[in-house]
Amino acid sequence: MSDQRKFLWLSTNAPPSGFREVPKGGMCVSAFLFVTRGDDLLLGKYADDPAWEQLAGLDPDRVKTHGKGWTIPASQLRFGEQPRDAGERIAKDILHLQGVHLHEFPPESDLYRPVRFPELGLHYDIWCFYEASISRGSKLEQLPWYDALEFHDARSLPESEYARGHRDVVERWLTARNKK
């Protein structure tokens, strides 16, 4: 049975219509926090900092590879963590934002062949989107795990300025946002 016909059942005792191992191309379940200030979106560039492994589940190789472009503050979900709790953790632990209210969007997913490991096959992402707005006068803390943390016009920032396909994620968020 082709992977695309299987159900997302990951278990050593899964039925034949599920997966007994993680699909070869891998799978990620992530939360993204879109922090807005007016029409601008908060984006960051990773610093080469070991804290990323505990903060977001990123190993040093991924931090180095993706640290050249702008990213949306995000994290892999921890085992057993509720997606909304991950969004709140990004606000509190990664960005040091206190007292923000999160607006939740329906989850998104994507199935694609990764540029870094095309030989592994299709990779599956499940994205949980949250948005928080802060006032124009709000100051951001300088955080050691970011080389830069700035607000940008997400609609005009060229795709080449984003890291690891984050432009696609921004497009999905903008589409979902226009529906609310």
pLDDT above 70: residue 166: yes
The per-residue pLDDT of the chain, averaged, comes to 91
Q: What does pTM read for this prediction?
A: 0.92
| 27-37 vs 123-133, strand pairing mode | parallel
Three-state secondary structure call for residue 88? helix
pLDDT at 1: 66
- E strands, 21-122, are 27-37, 40-46, 74-76, 103-104, 108-112
Residue 99 lies in a domain: yes
pLDDT tens digit sequence for 140-159: 999 999 999 999 998 899 99
Residue 14 lies in a domain: no
Residue 5 lies in a domain: no
Residue 118 lies in a domain: yes
Distance CA 112, CA 4 (A): 12
Token code pair at residue 113: 């062949």
Residue 2 lies in a domain: no
Contacts of 85 (CB under 8 A, 6+ apart): none
The residue range of the domain holding 116 is 25-179
The CATH number covering residue 33 comes to 3.90.79.10
